[in-house]
């Protein structure tokens, strides 16, 4: 017996559609919310959690609905078709409704950054419009009032000094007077642009300098920007929120309404699309099948990665282009799905395979406790136990059913907690990279894309690993890798020139660990389902994942708002560690032996 890879890949096209959208959504929408509306981390987390709140209610409904219908195109295909069409029609309006807001926000940011770039000759407080004649005057004002949200560029300097216990005027001047000159290399010569203030007017002059002076200024700029640029970004976002977003609340209202509609459309076919895999796959092969489904999802995510990476390289404000191209690719994948997938045919093929090998995809609620009890010698053939009464047998049966239900709860609880940790990182990744590590959106997308590449390479070996050591042990290994990597980020990744490299390495380690987890937790839930309740159990699984993703963006945003941003990774590590504990106490849901053949057969493609 072996997995039919061709069939699995075909039905995986539906998941590719889903992951293309969500990969683009999770990376691009936080940037759009931050740049256009200047939302705080916690408020942005609330918005990013809306889809998960909706999913809590909608995924089980649509999953169960798809269980109970049957059409010429099958149970799940109609949902995939209608949901995708609705999503692609609505999604293009998400960036369009924010375009005016983004234009105004960019204009304000340009004004703020132009002030910061001229800071070697004057000091500025935006709330009062006051121009100070000296750094000492500005610093005295800043430090005495402990101002925060109303202060101009040097707010970031002050925050850096405060966090590092350096609150003297000398320390402040040492940082604030660095990196303030615009330098450039042109035609083999080196220039510095000096800014001069006359009253409230600014003028600039380009001066020729030596190579050694250029290198010295460049080094100062790099050191300055390492500490100051993230703070400038924070201040600029606060100004956008106060001066634009709060003055035009209708804009964000319209934006959220459109966002709501597209999220409903996406939720309408997620459970049916995911339920296609267990519909057409015998239970013993579902970890391998889920690996292939996730690989197809990774391909969809790769499309999204290419789209937004190229778009951000061309322009930092290519939001409309990203969503338009993503919608077009989703339609192309839908056409391929409809052309290649004959759902009813595939389901019948799976039934014949199960009959051939004596496999039941029906309700395991009674079979699993009995099966595991036999393995442990707890229940034997009734003819060998003549002295055991029916009451004693019933008592043991109830005991094992309780253990079954506990395992079901532990699997869902473990899934909930690891999504609490994982989504805290993924929903803040683009903002963390651009604001904390001071990298461009393109660099942040490259880090995200590298993680996707690792996923694509790892999915098949991870599916085989589940056969070798079991699903439960595989999940525990994945959790361990994720916890270690998150702790390493928390301890060692600081905003310096090595930050992006260390972060990329540690993030890839955590990504590999969570791939192992993702491939196996869903099949563990499905192991406890029946052929008539796959959609319902898929809904249960998504209740746990989506409830976590509804809560964690807000909580992680609060962590970033009230502590250093690095504590985001400590929070994620704690969540995944708790998930480890729940999985450790899980007894049922592991994979059963495949009836025939060795694990090497799983690498071979099945017949159509």
In tens, the pLDDT along 561-594 reads 777 777 888 999 999 999 999 999 888 777 555 5
When computed from its CA atoms, the radius of gyration of the chain, rounded to whole angstroms, is: 28
Check whether residue 277 and residue 167 sit in a common domain. Answer: no
- Does residue 120 fall inside a structural domain? no
Question: 502, 490 in Cβ contact below 8 A?
Answer: no
Instruction: Return the higher-pLDDT residue of 555 and 335.
Output: 335
End-of-domain residue from the set 235, 259, 286: 235
Check whether residue 413 and residue 448 sit in a common domain. Answer: yes
pLDDT (average), residues 328-335: 96
Check whether residue 469 and residue 326 sit in a common domain. Answer: yes
Check whether residue 325 and residue 365 sit in a common domain. Answer: yes
Q: How many domains does the chain have?
A: 2
Check whether residue 508 and residue 371 sit in a common domain. Answer: yes
End-of-domain residue from the set 235, 264, 292: 235
Check whether residue 439 and residue 502 sit in a common domain. Answer: yes
Q: Which class for 308: exposed (0-12), middle (13-18), buried (19 or more C-beta within 10 A)?
A: buried
Residue 595 clears pLDDT 80, i.e. is over it: no
Q: Residue 189: CB partners within 8 Å, gap ≥ 6? A: 208
Cα distance between residue 539 and residue 592, in whole Å: 23
Check whether residue 225 and residue 294 sit in a common domain. Answer: no
Range of the domain at 200: 129-235
Q: Each residue of 510-528: pLDDT tens digit?
A: 888 888 887 788 888 877 7
**41: domain CATH number?**
1.20.1250.20
- Does residue 2 fall inside a structural domain? no
What percentage of the chain exceeds 90 in pLDDT? 21
- Does residue 163 fall inside a structural domain? yes
The count of residues in the chain is: 608
The label of the residue with tokens 């136990």 reads 385
- Does residue 109 fall inside a structural domain? no
Weakest mean pLDDT among 85-94, 225-234, 401-410, 433-442: 225-234
Name the phi and psi angles at 73, rounded to 5. -100, 5
- Does residue 354 fall inside a structural domain? yes
Question: 79, 272 in Cβ contact below 8 A?
Answer: yes
End-of-domain residue from the set 193, 208, 235: 235
Per-residue confidence at 557, pLDDT binned at 50, 70, 90? confident
- Does residue 160 fall inside a structural domain? yes
- Does residue 115 fall inside a structural domain? no
Check whether residue 342 and residue 381 sit in a common domain. Answer: yes
Question: 373, 400 in Cβ contact below 8 A?
Answer: yes
Check whether residue 69 and residue 144 sit in a common domain. Answer: no
Query: What pLDDT sits at residue 426?
Result: 79
Check whether residue 220 and residue 314 sit in a common domain. Answer: no
- Does residue 172 fall inside a structural domain? yes
Q: What average pLDDT does the structure give for the chain?
A: 75
Query: What pLDDT sits at residue 371?
Result: 41
Ranges assigned E (strand) in 6-66: none
pLDDT (average), residues 10-31: 91
Residue 605 clears pLDDT 80, i.e. is over it: no
Q: Each residue of 95-142: pLDDT tens digit?
A: 999 999 999 998 888 776 654 444 433 333 333 444 444 444 544 444
Count other Cβ atoms within 10 Å, centred on residue 572. Answer: 30
Our CA angle for 43, 35, 220, nearest 5°, is: 115
Query: What pLDDT sits at residue 96?
Result: 94
Check whether residue 309 and residue 216 sit in a common domain. Answer: no
Check whether residue 430 and residue 298 sit in a common domain. Answer: yes
């Amino acid at each position: 017996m072996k997995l039919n890879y061709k069939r699995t890949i075909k039905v995986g096209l539906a998941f590719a559609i889903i992951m293309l959208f969500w990969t683009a959504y999770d990376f691009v929408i936080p940037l759009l919310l931050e740049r256009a509306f200047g939302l705080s981390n916690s408020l942005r987390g609330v918005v990013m959690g809306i889809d998960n709140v909706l999913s809590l209610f909608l995924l089980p409904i649509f999953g169960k609905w798809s269980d109970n219908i049957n059409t010429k195109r099958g149970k799940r295909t109609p949902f995939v078709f209608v949901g995708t069409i609705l999503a692609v029609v609505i999604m293009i309006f998400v960036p369009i409704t924010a375009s005016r807001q983004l234009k105004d926000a960019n204009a304000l940011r340009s004004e703020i950054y132009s002030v910061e770039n001229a800071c070697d000759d004057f000091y500025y407080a935006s709330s009062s419009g006051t121009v100070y004649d000296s750094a000492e005057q500005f610093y005295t004002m800043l430090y005495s009032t402990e101002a925060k949200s109303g202060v101009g560029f040097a707010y970031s300097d002050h925050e850096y000094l405060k966090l590092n216990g350096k609150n003297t005027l000398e320390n402040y001047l040492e940082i604030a007077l660095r990196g303030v000159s615009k330098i450039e290399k042109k035609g083999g010569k080196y220039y510095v642009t000096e800014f001069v203030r006359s009253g409230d007017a600014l003028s600039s002059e380009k001066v020729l300098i030596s190579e050694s002076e250029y290198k010295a200024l460049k080094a100062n700029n790099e050191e300055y920007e390492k500490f100051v640029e993230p703070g400038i970004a924070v201040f600029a976002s606060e100004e956008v929120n106060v001066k634009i977003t709060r003055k035009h609340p209708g804009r964000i209202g319209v934006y959220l309404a459109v966002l709501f509609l597209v999220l409903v459309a996406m939720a309408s076919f997620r459970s049916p699309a995911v339920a296609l895999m267990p519909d057409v796959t015998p239970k013993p092969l579902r970890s391998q099948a889920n690996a292939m489904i996730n690989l197809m999802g990774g391909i969809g995510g790769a499309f999204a990665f290419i789209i937004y990476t190229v778009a951000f390289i061309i322009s930092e404000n290519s939001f409309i282009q990203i969503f338009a191209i993503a919608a077009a690719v989703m339609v192309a994948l839908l056409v391929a799905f409809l052309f290649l997938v004959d759902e009813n045919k595939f389901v019948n093929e799976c039934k014949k395979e199960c009959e051939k090998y004596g496999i039941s995809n029906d309700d395991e609620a009674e079979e699993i406790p009995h099966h595991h009890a036999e393995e442990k010698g707890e229940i034997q053939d009734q003819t060998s136990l003549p002295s055991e009464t029916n009451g004693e047998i019933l008592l043991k049966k109830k005991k094992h059913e309780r253990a079954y239900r506990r395992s079901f709860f532990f699997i869902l609880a473990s899934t909930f907690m690891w999504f609490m940790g994982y989504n805290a990182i993924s929903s803040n990744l683009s903002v963390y990279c651009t604001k904390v590590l001071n990298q461009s959106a393109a660099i942040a997308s490259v880090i995200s894309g590298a993680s996707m590449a690792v996923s694509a390479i790892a999915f098949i070996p991870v599916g085989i690993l589940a056969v070798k050591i079991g699903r439960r042990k595989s999940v525990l290994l994945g959790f361990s890798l994720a916890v270690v990597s998150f702790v390493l980020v928390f301890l060692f990744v600081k905003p310096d020139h090595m930050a992006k490299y260390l972060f990329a390495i540690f993030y890839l380690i955590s990504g590999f660990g969570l791939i192992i987890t993702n491939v196996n937790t869903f099949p563990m839930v499905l192991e406890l389902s029946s052929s008539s309740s796959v959609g319902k159990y898929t809904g249960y699984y998504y209740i746990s994942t989506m409830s976590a993703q509804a809560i964690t963006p807000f909580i992680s945003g609060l962590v970033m708002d009230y502590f250093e941003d690095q504590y985001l990774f400590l929070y994620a590590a704690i969540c995944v560690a708790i998930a480890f504990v729940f999985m450790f106490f899980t007894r049922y849901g592991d994979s059963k032996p495949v009836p025939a053949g060795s694990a090497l057969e799983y690498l071979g493609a099945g017949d159509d």
